[in-house]
């Protein structure tokens, strides 16, 4: 497992196909518009700190990425 030192590093790793990044929306907006990354959730979580899970479009082909995405989605839906 590789960990990024900060949000910018996490986005760079996601762009390189090394996993996903959970980052503030403002950090990845351009990548979403230019379709370098995708956001798997339609809704965001209201929080003083907002983060978005993003990864390369083909990342869900990897079972490990899909597992983490599904787990995060389930956790986010908890009351």
Task: Choose between 47 and 62: higher pLDDT.
Answer: 62
The pLDDT of residue 44 is 64
pLDDT tens digits along 33-52: 898 888 876 666 566 766 66
The residue behind tokens 């503030």 is: 24
- Whether the pLDDT of residue 6 is over 70: the answer is yes
Local structure of residue 17 (DSSP, 8 states): T
Q: What percent of the chain has pLDDT over 70?
A: 84
CB 23 within 8 A of CB 7: yes
């Amino acid at each position: 497992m590789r960990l990024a030192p900060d949000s910018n590093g996490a986005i760079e790793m996601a762009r390189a196909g090394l996993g996903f990044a959970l980052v503030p929306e403002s950090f990845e907006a351009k990548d979403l518009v230019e379709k370098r990354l995708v956001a798997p959730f339609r809704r965001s979580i209201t929080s003083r700190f907002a983060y978005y899970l993003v990864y390369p479009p083909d990342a869900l082909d990897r079972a490990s990425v899909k597992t983490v995405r599904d787990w995060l989605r389930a956790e986010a839906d908890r009351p």
